[in-house]
Structure 1
Amino acid sequence: MKDVVYVHPPRYKDADFQNPAGLPRPVVGGLPFPWVTPMGAGGPLFREVERVKAELCRRLWGCQVCGNDLDVTAWVALERPEDWAGVITSAAMHQACLRLAVTYCPVLGDATRGYAFTEVYEDEVVAVEEKASNKMAPRTRWCLRPVSETVRPGRVRAFLTLGQLDEAAE
């Protein structure tokens, strides 16, 4: 990813398993292993995210699934189809990687959750400080900036449902 140099790739719990960036993804337990997913003693921790890798993806415009650089545009999943909606994925993804994530992730692939999917430019996702509901210190949340506040104010943004995303794949 960009000019980041990884020295001594991490070993997971004394195992020889490595999780390098790139496609195809390593398969563990029959599932593709996303670049930002940590490995625990018993196997992949699919419900968790390696914060350092996720932050690298956000700051350097890299894909959370494959770990490679993103194109000029990338895809994110949102809480709802509107400006300032929270981005629910750790970082943006290539279109092909989003399809992989939706296929294998029970959360992203759950149509009842009503998530929206949209293609974005790097300047369309921003960190917003929010106060945590449990009175903890403020935390940062990644949100979708309105197109009118970007360098492309005339751009038309499309919000896709999971079904529409599936149709676009065919």
Structure 2
Amino acid sequence: MQRVVYLRDRLDGQRMKDVVYVHPPRYRGEEFQNSAGLPRPVVGGLPFPWVTPMGDGQPLFREIERVKAELCRRLWGCQVCGNDLGTTAWVALQEPRDGSAVVSSAAIHAECLRIAVDYCPVLGNPSMGYVFTEAYEDDIVAVSDTSPDRNPHAPTARWHLRPVVETSRPDRVRRFHSLAEVKAAGRGSTSKKTNPR
């Protein structure tokens, strides 16, 4: 059994630890209502991401099933399809720079990223100014937020992209892609993967 510890918000704004025991072959969705894999089920014209919970038999598209999201982060799985990621995967960032905050701690396959930006009203919103980059699993790290103006109800740690100079591969070249570039790559071929190197 795989022991997974994740943090859950309490009503008083504090965080508490929860422990989940998962049998690895069944982690990919067999025990969950929303199974893993591609193509994603389509509900109401929208693809149903693996981390999206069910409520009263309907997808709750505005919510994230925290256990699944934490499984994806800890076991290097894709939050859109729920399957294992490769050596590298894609993350959305708040700014085009090393050390930038990651929009979601779980990464995404290139193909799944294009699904996400086409249908997610947040990731696909040009006014949000998000950028995207390919990253290794150890590139995503927790950074404590000790600023006095931090929202007391927000987690004390935030996930960031580790700067290249702090990695075990300092010769890595990281390229940041705009939303328009990610969407354009998706129009070429669904199997095409943008190479950031």
TM-score range, shorter chain: 0.7 to 0.9
Q: Deviations over 1:17-58 (max 9, x none)?
A: x31111111111111110001111262111111111111111
Number of residue-to-residue matches in the alignment: 162
Q: Deviations over 1:52-96 (max 9, x none)?
A: 111111111000000000000000001111122111124100000
Provide the C-alpha distance between the structure 1 equivalents of 2:93 and 2:100, rounded to a whole number of angstroms.
Answer: 6
- Change in CA separation of 1:137 and 1:28 when aligned onto 2, cut-off 3 Å: closer
Residue equivalent to 2:176: 159
Whether the 8 Å contact between 1:35 and 1:67 is mirrored in structure 2 is: yes
Shift of 1:138: 5.1
Provide the C-alpha distance between the structure 2 equivalents of 1:89 and 1:128, rounded to a whole number of angstroms.
Answer: 14
Shift of 1:150: 1.0
Moved over 6 A (4+): none
Residue equivalent to 2:107: 92
Provide the C-alpha distance between the structure 1 equivalents of 2:79 and 2:157, rounded to a whole number of angstroms.
Answer: 18
Provide the C-alpha distance between the structure 1 equivalents of 2:134 and 2:92, rounded to a whole number of angstroms.
Answer: 9
2:107 match: secondary structure: coil
Structure 1 range deviating more: 99-108 or 38-47? 38-47
Whether the 8 Å contact between 1:49 and 1:90 is mirrored in structure 2 is: no
RMSD over aligned CA atoms reads 2.1
**Is 1:111 aligned to residue 126 of structure 2?**
yes
Amino acid at match of 1:146: P
Q: TM-score, normalised by structure 2?
A: 0.75
Whether the 8 Å contact between 1:63 and 1:93 is mirrored in structure 2 is: yes
Structure 1 range deviating more: 131-140 or 49-58? 131-140
Counterparts of 1:15-164 in structure 2, within 5 Å, are 18-41=33-56, 43-131=58-146, 133-136=150-153, 139-164=156-181
Structure 1 range deviating more: 148-157 or 60-69? 148-157
Amino acid at match of 2:24: V
Q: TM-score, normalised by structure 1?
A: 0.87
Q: Give 5+ residue unaligned stretches, structure 1.
A: 11-17
Q: Deviations over 1:75-127 (max 9, x none)?
A: 00011111221111241000000000001101111111110000001111101
Structure 1 range deviating more: 63-72 or 134-143? 134-143
- The alignment-based identity, stated in percent, is 64
